A = this chain, B = another copy of it.
Amino acid sequence: MNAERLPRVVIVGGGFGGLTAAQALKGARADVTLIDRRNFHLFQPLLYQVATAGLSPADIASPLRHVLRKQKNCRVVLAEPIAVDLEKRQVKFADGVVIEYDWLVLAAGATHSYFGHDEWETIAPGLKSIEDATEIRTRILLAFESAEYEGSEEARRAALTFAIVGGGATGVELAGSIMEIAAKTVVQDFRNIDTTTTRVILFDGNDRLLTAFSPESSERAKRTLEAMGVEVRLKAFVTNVTRDGIYVGDEFVAARSVLWAAGVRANPIGMSLGVPLEKSGQVKVEPDLTVPGQPQVFVVGDMASVTSAGKRVPGVAPAAIQMGRYVGKLIKGELAQASHRANVARKPFVYWDKGSLATIGKAKAVAEIGGFKFSGYFAWLIWSLVHIMFLISFRNRLIVMFNWAWGWFFFSKSARLITGDSQMRIDEMKANEVVIGRELSKLEVPRP
């Protein structure tokens, strides 16, 4: 064992930024601690496929301990820090326990923002965690179940209407997937309803979808969605969300299912730093991703606000990975130098924009890579390959490929499970005046 105390590197968050930072510290002479409230890394770009029953949670999750099992200078702690004390160099937990650091990497991510209306969250869940995804999956599937037994045409219509708020990648992907489920996957499953009459309405406050893309790609995505039957409502500002539907300006749209994919709010741990933040909570970091005045405290990923080549670095997975790797390498390098000479000046973080990808449906996607714009089958192929490639484990790559191939041929969504407290769900449906068993349909019965 080692008598001298090793430099302690504490990383908060096991997402793309934090995990990559930990991995970049492999072989460093340091005592690395990765803290996350979950025991797994989640491949968030495919989370919408869990929400739409195409994949199982385990297919896109990798246990952090397993990923880091051979990196013996790193431990994993399952816990949720609530604050940082820059003065004492401590990360603090709710119960008063602290972990001390010499170097700190904050990579605790971001979630959706309800623009000051947090009360909408229970009605219109966002999509950030595995639990969000299985909750949304359950809601989508229960919508069809309740529609099957609604007494009135009006109520049936509301049950079969899905409103999605936010026209970024997640909103577009959810809209396309739900339409596919309704129009292809469950068409034969019901006896009273025609699921192809399902309405999916995608709302966005901007004048176009996918603002990270060029206007041409936005227009293509819109046309593709509309060809699938999705209604796209731009410059639409949500003013209220209720259990019965959504208010857009003064207009009421009856929709039993409202899903939220808008806004960004950085993890509130950034507030404890006492440094300037963006309105949505990101920490305004220096070009080397450090907190101002704190050369050994870094912020990476969706929690960081930084510019590269004059443009704000976007809150996407590739940016988080690049920031994590930059910081991990920087710390490892300075730890190695420390015994020899004083720190040299740091090179600033430079974001390499590899392009943007968003999928819409089967063989439907938009892609912009190095000035080239693709859409349709070829863009979808690139999207698929890139996402398979970046999945953490080889096993998950195989499983996801298998599930996609299966879905391709059979339009199947195999994880169509309504889980959780189903009795509560059924009661909820009944509260919505769903008349299970009261009005059973005529069936097609063979003639003698």
Q: Residues on A close to B: CB < 8 A?
A: 1-2, 6, 27-33, 37-40, 56-59, 61, 63, 65-66, 69-70, 72-80, 93, 95, 97-99, 130-131, 141, 145, 149, 186, 188-191, 336, 339, 393, 395-396, 398-399, 402, 406, 410, 412, 414-423, 426, 430, 435-438, 440-448
Contact partners of A417 in chain B: CB under 8 A: 39-40, 57-58, 61, 63, 130
Q: Which of B40, B398, B430 contacts A416 (CB 8 A)?
A: B40
Once bound together, how far apart are the Cα atoms of A422 and B79, in whole Å? 9
Contact A436 B39 (CB under 8 A): no
- Name, among A435, A436, A445, the residue most crowded by chain B CB atoms within 10 Å (CB to CB): A445
B79 touches A426 (CB 8 A): yes
Q: Can you list 28 pairs linking A and B with CB atoms under 8 Å apart?
A: A2-B442, A6-B443, A29-B448, A31-B443, A32-B443, A33-B440, A37-B423, A39-B141, A39-B417, A39-B418, A40-B416, A40-B417, A56-B58, A56-B59, A57-B419, A61-B417, A72-B191, A72-B443, A75-B443, A78-B145, A78-B418, A97-B435, A97-B437, A131-B419, A131-B421, A395-B410, A395-B412, A399-B414
**Residues of B contacting A445 with CB < 8 Å?**
2, 6, 29-31, 72-73
Decide: A419 and B75 in contact? CB cutoff 8 A.
no
A440–B48 CA distance with the chains assembled, in angstroms: 37
Is A438 in contact with B80, judged by CB distance below 8 angstroms?
A: no
* A186 contacts B446, C-beta separation under 8 Å: no
- Does A63 lie within 8 Å of B436, measured CB to CB? no
How far does the Cβ of A413 sit from chain B's closest Cβ, in whole Å?
Answer: 9
A395 vs B191: C-alpha distance in the bound complex, in angstroms? 25
Copies per complex of this chain: 2
Bound Cα distance A69, B186 (Å) = 9
Chain B: which residue is nearest A435 at the CB level?
Answer: B97
**CB distance A37 to B426 under 8 Å?**
yes
- Find chain B residues with CB under 8 A from A66 CB: 186, 189, 416
Contacts of A393 in B (CB 8 A): 414
Please give the distance in Å from A142's CB to the nearest CB on chain B.
8
Instruction: A447 to B79: give the CA distance in the assembly, Å.
Output: 29
A72 contacts which chain B residues (CB < 8 A)?
191, 443-445
In the A-B complex, list the 5 residue pairs whose CB atoms are closest, starting with the nearest: A56-B56, A65-B189, A58-B415, A72-B444, A69-B188
Complex contact B98–A39 (CB within 8 A): no
Contact A186 B437, beta carbon cutoff 8 Å:
no
New A-B contacts (18) at CB < 8 Å, excluding given A39-B417, A58-B416: A29-B445, A30-B445, A39-B418, A40-B417, A40-B418, A56-B57, A57-B419, A63-B416, A65-B189, A65-B190, A72-B444, A76-B189, A77-B436, A80-B426, A95-B430, A99-B440, A130-B417, A395-B410
- A83 CB → nearest B CB, Å: 14
Whether B38 pairs with A418 at a CB distance below 8 angstroms is yes
Contacts of A426 in B (CB 8 A): 37, 78-80
Separation in Å of the A412 CB from the closest CB of chain B?
7
Query: A69 to chain B: which residues have CB within 8 Å?
Result: 188-189
Please indicate which of the listed interface residues A145, A406, A416, A435 has the most CB atoms of chain B within 10 Å of its own CB. Answer: A416
Specify which chain B residues have a CB less than 8 angstroms from the CB of A77 in the assembled complex: 149, 436-437, 440
Q: Which residues of B contact A30 (CB under 8 A)?
A: 445
Q: Which residue of B lies closest to A42 (CB)?
A: B417
Residue among A27, A61, A99, A422 with most chain B CB within 10 A:
A422
User: How close is A244's CB to chain B, nearest CB, in angstroms?
Assistant: 21
Contact indicator B416/A39 (Cβ below 8 Å): yes
Output the least CB separation between A163 and chain B (Å): 23
The reply to whether A99 and B437 form a contact with Cβ atoms under 8 Å apart is: yes
